[in-house]
Chain A
Amino acid sequence: KQEVTQIPAALSVPEGENLVLNCSFTDSAIYNLQWFRQDPGKGLTSLLLIQSSQREQTSGRLNASLDKSSGRSTLYIAASQPGDSATYLCAVMYSSASKIIFGSGTRLSIRP
């Protein structure tokens, strides 16, 4: 059964720290993995897409890595800011079953 897990469910850090969010998935037969942020009561904003053949993607202060063999992806946020406070979700598009599974998210709070 395909599953996607994000731990921890919540994280609070002081402003300026570098931090890592985790996403783990079962079954390495994936098309891609996508990271999103979601502000309260809003839709999802796409941050990064990592295709199955890629190891990492970068956008500004964000860097996402993918290790299919271990079933893990990390989202690294450098020099965190209060505006980074949001819920971060990962979604895996599985090729073995043609389906998309979302993790339950990590709620991130950056303290000024």
Chain B
Amino acid sequence: DVKVTQSSRYLVKRTGEKVFLECVQDMDHENMFWYRQDPGLGLRLIYFSYDVKMKEKGDIPEGYSVSREKKERFSLILESASTNQTSMYLCASSTPRGWSSYNEQFFGPGTRLTVL
């Protein structure tokens, strides 16, 4: 079974703090994704990566950055957290590399981030 883990289930931070969300997958998947999920807006793609040190912007990258130094780990960084970044953050992974009909996404349990 594919396993995607996220570093925290719940996180509370203050405005202006730098926040790191970590995601690890154990199935040697090339692609990794970060989404946020908000009531009424659904899931929206923030960033994705199809290889180590590679990243592509999704639909809402503003205010976020990412890091992929190792194949199994994909980090989402909030450089200066703001209250409008309070959300559920979901990480996913898939194979093969890039976009294709075979890509099945597997999700982690999510991190509920609250920015005060």
Contacts and interface: CB of A to CB of B under 8 A. Distances in A.
B78 interface: no
A95 interface: yes
A31 B104 contact: no
Interface of B is mostly: loop
A74 B85 CA distance: 33
Contacts, number: 57
Interface stretch (A18-26, A78-86, A100-108): A100-108
Say which size band chain B's interface belongs to. Answer: 20 to 34
A62 B83 CA distance: 40
B108 interface: yes
B104 A98 contact: no
Interface string A18-46: 00000000000001101010000111111
Interface residues of A, number: 25
A111 interface: no
12 contacts: A42-B110, A45-B107, A51-B102, A52-B101, A89-B42, A89-B43, A93-B103, A98-B99, A99-B58, A100-B45, A102-B42, A102-B44
Given A32-B103, A46-B107, 15 more contacts: A32-B104, A43-B90, A43-B110, A44-B90, A44-B105, A44-B107, A45-B107, A46-B104, A46-B106, A51-B102, A52-B101, A89-B42, A93-B99, A100-B45, A105-B42
